[in-house]
Structure 1
Amino acid sequence: MMKNNWLSTLGLAMRAGKIVTGDDTVMKAVRSGEAKLVLLASDAAANAQKKYRDKCSFYNVPLIEQGSRFELGSAIGKVERVVLAVTDAGFANRIAQCQVKPAEVEGN
């Protein structure tokens, strides 16, 4: 099943220690250039969406908004997670390649 391939890759990245979670930790990774990709749950609050769109845009970090907070959490073996950062370029590229719909699509 191709749709969930990115979730499997997320799990692999977590086991490899290449995922940071939590608002403060992810924001620090974005600012420091450590984050190669940020994943934001599609059901994140509007202010969180705006904050991460703005920061990721400013620091030129790719942002993907896909999956629910429950999908993101279960993919990495945790309870729900609204935001994750991938700190490894290889994993970030693999996850980005699995995406079907671009994050810029709005209003559906």
Structure 2
Amino acid sequence: MNRQKLLNLIGLSLRAGKMISGEELTLRDVRNQKAKLVFVAKNASENTKKKMTDKCAFYHVPYNLDFTQEEISQAIGRNRMIVGICDEGFAKKMQELSVE
């Protein structure tokens, strides 16, 4: 996996207006089928990780637990543990990069 390219794409998706951040907004978009990919910080609380991964699994939204809060926060310039990608193109490219 090319971590830096993936983090750069997360930041780019924010600037393109195709990303939401924070637990409440991401949960809402997962329920409404707007989120195409969700990133949850691996150092988030167990309760938060379980809630997000269970919700993503139920609504068939892929998720990623590979990054820390610090990495996600640095990529988007805000202190966040959870971000959701709302664009199919960004999500597809990010999934390809995470498999490499």
How far off its partner does 1:3 sit?
2.5
2:39 match: secondary structure: strand
Q: Deviations over 1:35-81 (max 9, x none)?
A: 000000111100011101110000000011111101101101212x1
Q: Aligned partners of 1:40, 1:100: CA distance in 2, in Å?
A: 17
Kindly report which structure 2 residues correspond to 1:88-103, keeping only aligned pairs within 5 A, or say none.
Answer: 88-100=87-99
* 1:75-95: CA deviation from partner (whole Å, max 9, x where unpaired): 01212x110000001001111
Aligned residue in 2 for 1:56: 56
Compute the RMSD of aligned alpha carbons.
1.2
Taking only the aligned residue pairs, the percentage that are identical comes to: 36
In the other structure, the counterpart of 2:19 is 19
After superposing on structure 2, the runs of 4+ consecutive aligned residues of structure 1 that deviate more than 4 Å are none
Q: For the residues of structure 1 that align with 2:12 and 2:73, how far apart are their CA atoms?
A: 13
Where does 1:62-73 land on structure 2 (aligned, <5 Å)? 62-73=62-73
- Give the whole-Å Cα distance in 1 for the aligned partners of 2:99 and 2:61: 19
* Aligned mates of 2:8, 2:23 — CA distance in 1: 22
Kindly provide the amino acid, as one letter, of the partner of residue 97 in structure 2. C
Give the partner amino acid of 1:69: Q
- The match for 1:104 is none
Higher helix residue share:
2
Q: CA shift at 1:21, angstroms?
A: 0.6
Q: How many residues align?
A: 99
Could you tell me the TM-score, scaled by structure 1's length? 0.87
Residue 89 of structure 1 aligns with an amino acid whose one-letter code is E
Secondary structure at the counterpart of residue 99 of structure 1:
helix
Structure 1: runs of 5+ lacking an equivalent: 102-108
Q: TM-score, normalised by structure 2?
A: 0.94
